[in-house]
Amino acid sequence: MGLAWKEMLRRRGRFLSVGIALLLINLLVLFLVSQLTGLDEGQTGAIRALDSDLLTFDAGVDQSLFRSSIPVSDVQEAEAVEGVAAVGPVGILFGTGRTEAEVVPDELFDMSVFGYEPGSPGEPAGLVEGRLPRAGETGVGTIDETVKSDGVEIGDTVYFAESDRPIEIVGFVDDSTFQLQPTLWVELGTWQELLAVVRPERVGSEPTANVLAVDVDPGADPSEVAREVDSSLPGTETVTVDDAIAALPGLSEQRQTFFTIIGMTYLAAAIVVTLFFALITLEKAEQIGILKAIGARTRSLAGSVLVQGLLLAIPAFLGAAAVTVLIGATLPPELPFAIDTGAWLTVGIVTVSVAVIGALLSFRRISRIDPANAIGGTGD
């Protein structure tokens, strides 16, 4: 430890430059990871907020929330399936919202509307202020708190699409955006009214929802319950919420793109650290030869390099984490950014591992240095 620290102080310029390089690489990776987390949460928040075990789709729609259509009457049949605790219909609309009855372009904003039956699966989790719509209570809704940045408050009225049906805001929920847009949660009857405006051809037809949210009995196997639900409701496909999220358009491609960039960034970090320690080892071959000649063990010398790798990687990661937090605090709310402690911890572990592996790759060169040749100036 002492030898490693002394060398770092003597060559502080070189070690500092590599440390800064690692800090910048970590800063890039942490920012990318936080943006990916923010994008994932912004696209899937409303689906996760359903707080159910399974979702039942219309078969043949590739688990598309918008193309799926299931009769509300199927709820009772699904509830009769063994292993099912409760079922609730969930309707989904996507369009524009406004805060005034008049359609003023500057006041339009993208918004999704989720209809549900209060007290049933599909009711949103994460209430942070106010309340949720009650059973049979039409014309009120709870909305994602991101709209607070637009000046929306409890008691305000919003409108959806071309509808002149006023929806009074009675509460706010967090982490319930869908496709990066705020979600308005209303009682299913209100949702049906809005559907009649957006899809007038559906007026007079059997009431439908997009999916059924299914809660499973404690101890029951969700996959087995899903098969039983599909057997009882021909023409349906029941999957877990995680599978439904994975099927969202573009989400998988988005993750793969970010992971590729992050992977290439780590490859660059590994190359930087490896080349640095290889160069340092080559330059101090004579000193290493002298140390070996006076009895220093190769293992001890390699341990010194390992300590140097740790002393580079750990401060670089912690510094990058601090800078990333500061940057995140200054970003506007509309820019996706969220800190996932588990993901950041993974980044830290990978960073330290890359630095340690890069440092230990110089161990082979250290072990091959012959004291006589090194002291004589011929290296290894």
Whole-number pLDDT of residue 80? 92
Average pLDDT rounded to a whole number, residues 25-35: 91
Tokens for 341? 């402690």
Average pLDDT rounded to a whole number, residues 57-86: 91
Dist CA 375 CA 363 (whole Å):
19
Burial annotation 133-154 (CB, 10 A radius, 16+ → b, else e): beeebbbbbbbbbbbeeeebee
Average pLDDT rounded to a whole number, residues 306-319: 85
DSSP collapsed to 3 states, the chain: CHHHHHHHHHCHHHHHHHHHHHHHHHHHHHHHHHHHHHHHHHHHHHHHHCCCCEEEEECCCCCCCCCCCEECCHHHHHHCCCCEEEEEEEEEEEEEEECCCCCCHHHCEEEEEEEECCCCCCCCCCEEEECCCCCCCCCEEEEEHHHHHHCCCCCCEEEECCCCCCEEEEEEECCCCECCECEEEEEHHHHHHHHHHHCHHHCCCCCEECEEEEEECCCCCHHHHHHHHHHHCCCEEEEEHHHHHHCCCCHHHHHHHHHHHHHHHHHHHHHHHHHHHHHHHHHCHHHHHHHHHCCCCHHHHHHHHHHHHHHHHHHHHHHHHHHHHHHHHHCCCCCCCCCCHHHHHHHHHHHHHHHHHHHHCCHHHHHHCCHHHHHCCCCC
- What is the sign, positive or negative, of the torsion defined by CA atoms of 64, 66, 70, 75? positive
Whole-number pLDDT of residue 363? 63
Whole-number pLDDT of residue 57? 94
Whole-number pLDDT of residue 131? 94
Q: Is the pTM of this model over 0.85?
A: no
Average pLDDT rounded to a whole number, residues 362-377: 58
Dist CA 241 CA 246 (whole Å):
9
Q: Map tokens 């011929």 to a residue.
A: 378
Higher-confidence residue of 45 and 2: namely: 45
Whole-number pLDDT of residue 352? 86
Q: Map tokens 């310029």 to a residue.
A: 13
Mean pLDDT value across the chain: 83
Q: Give the least confident one: 6-10, 37-41, 198-202, 272-276.
A: 6-10
Whole-number pLDDT of residue 285? 55
Whole-number pLDDT of residue 379? 47
Cα separation values, 79 from 21, 136, 213, 214, 236, Å = 58, 21, 11, 8, 15
Average pLDDT rounded to a whole number, residues 79-108: 80
Whole-number pLDDT of residue 380? 47
Bridge partners, 95 (sequence order): 111
Average pLDDT rounded to a whole number, residues 121-146: 91
Average pLDDT rounded to a whole number, residues 335-355: 88
| Percent of the chain surpassing pLDDT 90 | 36
- What is the sign, positive or negative, of the torsion defined by CA atoms of 156, 160, 162, 164? negative
Q: Give the least confident one: 168-177, 206-215, 336-345, 363-372.
A: 363-372
Whole-number pLDDT of residue 223? 92
What is the band of 238 on the pLDDT scale with cuts at 50, 70, 90? Answer: very high
Higher-confidence residue of 364 and 175: namely: 175
Whole-number pLDDT of residue 108? 74
Cβ(361)–Cβ(279) below 8 Å: no
Q: Residue 31 pLDDT more than 80? A: yes
